Structure 1
Amino acid sequence: MKRSFWVLHAVVLAFVFSNQSVLRAQEPAPAPEKGSVIFIHPDGAGVSAWAAARLLTVGPDGILNWDRLDHMGLYRGHMKNSMGATSHGGGTSHAFGVKVHWDSYGMDGTEPLTSLSGKPHSILVEAQEAGFATALVNTGHLAEPGTGVFAASAPARSAVDEITKQIIEGGTDIILSGGEILLLPQGVQGKFFFPGIRRDSLNLIERAEELGYAVVYSRDELMALPPDTEKVLGVFAAAHTFSDRSEEVLQERELSLYAHWAPSVAEMTEAALGFLKASGRPFLLVVEEEGSDNFANQNNALGSLTALARADEAFGVALDFVEANPETLLITTADSDAGGLEVYPIRDADPLVAEKPLPVTTRNGGALDGRNGTGTPPFMSKPDQFGETWPFGIAWASFDDNLGGMVAKAHGLNAHLLPKNVDNTDIYRMMYATLFGVWFR
């Protein structure tokens, strides 16, 4: 009898707790808080790239601004038909929240695309329709997909005439980038001494002015704008604001890494946030440092690490803004590991090593860079906690965008929602949850 009682008791308790678990599982999760979103995409920057940037800028024990973001998850960047992302395919997944063909620019290959929310356009367009202020910032040209796919859709990445037309006419409030030649008709001379390449005879600079944009061409002109300017088009270079060539080519042509007159990504981010804040509306700001990808695709270590240092300054600007405006989510990731950059440690503290050229390759034949390219002395870290500086090189796996070690990070409003394992479509989920208060499972 006692045995039967205890069996029955156990069954009842199991039933009660089981039903309580079911009830708890069915209870709706608290709705995300609504606010503004800053998405920063340091293109091509895997974890190893950030490790190298840390050594060079703050030392092995130092803290980057990127390190300060509170929440982190491992990023999975595979596409619908490829284990590795492209910039345009990965950007499309961020902007639409769905897996797509790797060769997609705001579409699924050449097919129209429906976003995770059910809308036939990106999260930026949906935000515009809902009354949000919007901004795009890119150190590359206007059609670079890390930002471009948020405002344009085309059957091919090469369709730059159509892409730039959509971006200019799409209603984004603040647009800051390079790419003047993409905005001018063939034969029309630009501010940066190169003629336009448009084949449709449209002058999109003039069109932007007709639409009410204040058009600026330099850091000084951008900074001189009234803080309450509502629509800004910054055009800061003929193509990119940087020269994405190898160290050797840049030295031969006496070219700098970045155009001295163009605002940095941090300066563009700060300006955009000022204009967006002045609008009095919640906003979506999408920022891309393109140099971290393009320099890595050229296996230019100095260019890559310079680009990442500049991107880290933009994180500092964004973190300061979130601190002052806590109703803002800051989220970041990279959709690929450009070049397969790895730190090549040199285990010798002899000061003479710092001036000795590195081997041209590693033992397995991988390309190896020093501070000024192939066959040059190593980089030197900033001091560690013991005051020591250390030499290191940069080894490369390829010239391509690789599926490497990428992470997503978040800070501020709703940052706790970032999963530990982050699919590329989760970037959209995080942004949508903050803009619209809805989390898509």
Structure 2
Amino acid sequence: MNFPRLITVVSLSTLLLGSLFSADETGSAIFIHPDGMGLGHWNAARLLEVGPDGMLNWDTLEQLAAYRVHQKNWLSTTSHAGATAHAYGKKVHHNSYGMDQDKPLTALSGKPLSIMQEAMASGIRVGVVNSGHIGEPGTGVFLASTDNRYDFRPLARKIMESGADLIFCAGEIYLIPVGTIGKHGREGTREDGRNLLEEAEGRGYTVIFTREELFALDPKTEKVIGIFAAENTYNDKKENVLKKAGLETYDPEAPTFAEMTTVALKILGSDPQRQFFLVAEEEGTDNFSNNTNAKGMLDAAIRADKAIGAVVDFMNTQADRKTLLIVGADSDAGSPSIWAPRGKGEDYQLPKKTNSGAELDGPEGTGGTPFFSKPDQFGNAYPFGISWANANDYQGSAITRAHGFNSQLLGTNIDNSGIYRIFYEVLFGVTPEIAASKLQE
């Protein structure tokens, strides 16, 4: 009975807040999106990386809110629909990539543009970083739209031609033609004969492929594309599959998510007088969870936290710049829980399942050797396993954090479409509703 009234009050409050902004109160914005990463992921990462009494970079952020994942026709979401809500400020059909299923989408601002496209049109520098391939929706939706998220080659073309100042990701096979062997040793899959990397160089982009080239970039570089793996920088398979193939969870030759993010900030933030908008996604947090690979999930989670640390360091060194950081996922992939036996030592072996029948993982897969936490304040390290509720993206315990300029706009309870609204106010100085009303004047 009271729900519609609550929505009205929240919307009015947002409008009033937005009306207080002026043009000189805009800032830059950074969205770190560890895909599918809920509270269980963060708790497990803390145990493994710094111990139960330690603090992750994520723990130091100023604001925290519960996050609502649902879409217009489902109680959960998908990666592409979640990204669409972030990029356009509207709930959509669960099979949507920058559209409402197969229908063009008008953003909450009243424009048929994602927030990143609108930022570009306003002269704000923009960039995307992804540990996965170029078509991954967590970043791709901000630059392109399609009615088929799995048609990666047309998507890759749209993103490469989007005009973004910076694109760091993987997916070389979607950028070069059949018959051409790429820098990362695999044949291209484009059947249109186009080499999108050569075309980008023709448009003035610097194109790079290695960690060494990444670190050698001049911060004053205007336009840059970095493609750091043939498909993804991670190997998102089950533990036994990776062991049999002799593969690590991440390609050791590819730059890490934190390294890509650090260089992206140096480039986009090289002019302290100019706004920028960066969307950076660690995709491995979701993909390893969807494969119930606990070690891979934890590797990815810790990589995401190191990127958060890099962003906070950037914000601290550029304290005069008004910059907002938001960290959040669109769902809780696998809903992992920490399974911690009492009074067990170093020789303890995990069972394959919990008492409820949930799959129980250690670093080598189901059962066997447990993970061990870093020591607590008393000097004790403890064994633990990761139990999986499922292998999909559901409600779970998704949460969002904010830090820096106007981080108080996050509140304590946010809808997935609310991420757009906060970024819009920071980048443009008004609420999207006010922007939409001005279009009608």
Specify the code of the residue in structure 2 equivalent to 1:331.
I
For 1:62 and 1:246, locate their aligned partners in 2 and report how far apart those are by CA, in whole Å: 29
Specify the code of the residue in structure 2 equivalent to 1:243.
N
1:358–1:375: 8 Å Cα contact kept in structure 2? Answer: yes
TM-score (norm 1): 0.92
Partner residue, 2:305:
312
Partner residue, 2:50:
58
Match of 2:41 among 16, 28, 49: 49
Partner residue, 2:286:
293
Q: After TM superposition, list the pairs within 5 Å mapping 1:225-264 onto structure 2.
A: 225-264=217-256
2:210–2:228: 8 Å Cα contact kept in structure 1? Answer: yes
TM-score (norm 2): 0.92
Note the aligned Cα RMSD (angstroms). 1.6
Greater Cα shift, 33-42 or 363-372: 363-372
Partner residue, 1:168:
160
Change (3 A) 1:290 1:323: same
Between the two proteins, what is the percent identity of the paired residues?
A: 50
Deviation for aligned residue 1:197:
1.0
For 1:243 and 1:206, locate their aligned partners in 2 and report how far apart those are by CA, in whole Å: 27
Partner residue, 2:136:
144
For 1:386 and 1:244, locate their aligned partners in 2 and report how far apart those are by CA, in whole Å: 36
1:277 aligns with 2:272: no
Deviation for aligned residue 1:28:
7.6
Partner residue, 2:117:
125
Deviation for aligned residue 1:358:
0.8
Partner residue, 2:437:
none
Task: Look up the SS of the partner of 2:179 in the other structure.
Answer: coil
Change (3 A) 1:334 1:28: closer
Partner residue, 1:31:
21
Task: Look up the SS of the partner of 2:417 in the other structure.
Answer: helix
1:355–1:378: 8 Å Cα contact kept in structure 2? Answer: no
1:93-121 CA-to-partner distances (Å, cap 9, x unmatched) read 00000011110011000000000101101
Partner residue, 2:367:
375
**Structure 1 ranges of 4+ moved more than 6 A:** 25-28
For 1:228 and 1:28, locate their aligned partners in 2 and report how far apart those are by CA, in whole Å: 33
Deviation for aligned residue 1:187:
2.2
1:329 aligns with 2:324: yes
Larger radius of gyration: 1
Partner residue, 2:65:
73
Deviation for aligned residue 1:26:
7.6
Task: Look up the SS of the partner of 2:249 in the other structure.
Answer: coil
Partner residue, 1:221:
213
For 1:319 and 1:28, locate their aligned partners in 2 and report how far apart those are by CA, in whole Å: 25
1:41-99 CA-to-partner distances (Å, cap 9, x unmatched) read 00010001100000000001111000111011100010111111100000000000001
2:18–2:425: 8 Å Cα contact kept in structure 1? Answer: no
For 2:282 and 2:270, locate their aligned partners in 1 and report how far apart those are by CA, in whole Å: 24
Task: Look up the SS of the partner of 2:403 in the other structure.
Answer: strand
Partner residue, 1:340:
335
Specify the code of the residue in structure 2 equivalent to 1:434.
V
Partner residue, 1:433:
425
Change (3 A) 1:26 1:374: closer
Partner residue, 1:7:
none
Deviation for aligned residue 1:27:
9.4
Q: How many residues get paired? A: 415
Partner residue, 1:111:
103
1:133–1:279: 8 Å Cα contact kept in structure 2? Answer: no
Task: Look up the SS of the partner of 2:270 in the other structure.
Answer: helix
1:344–1:394: 8 Å Cα contact kept in structure 2? Answer: yes
For 2:402 and 2:220, locate their aligned partners in 1 and report how far apart those are by CA, in whole Å: 28
Task: Look up the SS of the partner of 1:249 in the other structure.
Answer: helix
Deviation for aligned residue 1:175:
0.4
2:19–2:431: 8 Å Cα contact kept in structure 1? Answer: no
Task: Look up the SS of the partner of 1:38 in the other structure.
Answer: strand
1:77–1:83: 8 Å Cα contact kept in structure 2? Answer: yes
Q: Which sections of structure 1, spanning at least 5 residues, go unmatched?
A: 1-21
Deviation for aligned residue 1:324:
2.5
1:363-400 CA-to-partner distances (Å, cap 9, x unmatched) read 12111101211122110000111111111000001111
Match of 2:413 among 416, 421, 431: 421
Specify the code of the residue in structure 1 equivalent to 2:190.
R
